[in-house]
Structure 1
């Protein structure tokens, strides 16, 4: 696996299935190119710290849950994205991706950076609606 790049860098080329040992719901493992374009674009923009581009990929009534807090609607989500982009410096490595249903996808990324603990594996659970992200839950 190639190493990730600076803040927002990611290694998509070798995205492998989620690690064993974690209970998973019925899903189909996928490669990066099999993810919907909106998810690929969101992850690229989010990992680059581009809050406007990330928010533009969401429905007007989207809901994001991160770190136990929920953000409803684009104004709240854009404030969260701006804060998240400036809070820490990190690199990302894609660990796996899966399709969990017709409009549900999960991407697992490892973040390494200057936040407490320095390394964390996060699941990004996406729900799509009409080609946009309507729900995103980010959790370990």
Structure 2
């Protein structure tokens, strides 16, 4: 991949740490999801930044219990070796009932350094 062009990839080609996070998030497995992040990671969701393990753990726990929903990955793209975007379709009892969210991952080695959900 060159010239900063995104490349559509299959979900199987995503780095293991991303698929581990996505599977754990879908299963509401906060402990496993947390293992995907560096100790200094940042998650930005709904305009709010959550920095470090404790804040990310609180965010994961809250997002697992606030609403009931299903998550289905619909698209995966590789930007470069450390940047990936996964689009997920959510349906549930949250305001609006359905939405497509882009999970933008920045990796540091085999851990997630930043996750931005928009």
- CA RMSD across the alignment: 0.9
| C-alpha displacement of 1:52 | 1.2
| C-alpha displacement of 1:30 | 0.2
| C-alpha displacement of 1:107 | 0.2
1:51 is the counterpart of 2:30: yes
The count of residues paired between Structure 1 and Structure 2 equals 115
| C-alpha displacement of 1:93 | 1.7
State how far apart, in whole Å, the 1-side matches of 2:30 and 2:73 are.
20
Q: Which of 83, 88, 102 is residue 123 of structure 1 equivalent to? A: 102
Partner residue, 1:79: 58
Q: Which of 40, 43, 47 is residue 68 of structure 1 equivalent to? A: 47
Measured against aligned partners, the alpha-carbon deviations of 1:54-105 in whole angstroms (never above 9, x if no partner) come to 1111100000000000000010000000000000111112110000111000
TM-score by length of 1: 0.80
Q: Which runs of 4+ in 1 moved over 4 A?
A: none
Partner residue, 2:19: 40
Measured against aligned partners, the alpha-carbon deviations of 1:18-70 in whole angstroms (never above 9, x if no partner) come to xxxxxxx7200000110001100100001111111111111000000000000
SS in 1 for 2:22: helix
TM-score by length of 2: 0.95
